[in-house]
Amino acid sequence: MISRPCFVAIAFCLLAIPATAQDAAEGRRIAERWCVECHLIDDSAGTVAPDTGPPFAALARDPGKSEGALRGFLSDPHPPMPPFNFQRDDIEHLIAYIKSLGLAE
In angstroms, what is the minimal distance from the CB of 6 to ligand HEC? 37
Q: Do 19 and 89 meet the contact criterion of CB atoms below 8 Å apart?
A: yes
Q: Counting contacts by CB under 6 A, is residue 96 touching ligand HEC?
A: no
Selected binder of ligand HEC within 59, 60, 96, 101 (CB under 6 A): 59
91 burial via Cβ count (<10 Å: 0-12, 13-18, 19+): buried
Query: Can you give the binding site for ligand HEC, defined by CB under 6 A?
Result: 31, 34-35, 37-39, 52-54, 59, 70, 73-74, 80-82, 84, 94
